[in-house]
Amino acid sequence: MLYLYVLLILLSETAAISLLKKFSMSDNWLYFGLGLFFYTLVAGFLVKSFRYGDMGVVNVLWSAFSILLVVTVGILYFKEHITLAEVGGISMILAGVVVLKVYGSGI
């Protein structure tokens, strides 16, 4: 169940960030309201996830995979560009998750 809630957090947060980005480009308040709605879902799923995993574990999974998902949406949907330094940083984040999974905290 932990991974299901983390997935729901990731999808909700990515939707929220994307909607708020669209709001910043259009000033359509519907995007703003929907962005807030999805952030409310993030909070609800976060509370539920704590029943199945420690805060540290949930936060590592959420943070790492949120970066990947948001960057991917930024590149594919919003046509944003990523630098080589950013690719390197994202690679280190992924390596950190792998190290924690293999050697660490029960992710």
Structure tokens at 25: 């480009």
Give this prediction's pTM: 0.86
31-45 residues labelled b (16+ CB within 10 A) or e (exposed): bbebbeebbebbeeb
Gap between the terminal Cα atoms of the chain: 13
d(CA 78, CA 72): 9
* pLDDT of the residue at 44: 98
């990947």: which residue's tokens?
Answer: 68
* Residue bearing tokens 């943070």: 63
Mean pLDDT over all residues of the chain?
A: 93
For the stretch 27-39, pLDDT in tens is 999 999 999 999 9
Amino acid, res. 97:
V
- Tokens 């984040």 belong to 93
Residue with tokens 């929220």: 16
Closest CA relative to residue 48, chosen from 100, 3, 17, 105: 3
Residue 106 confidence (pLDDT): 62
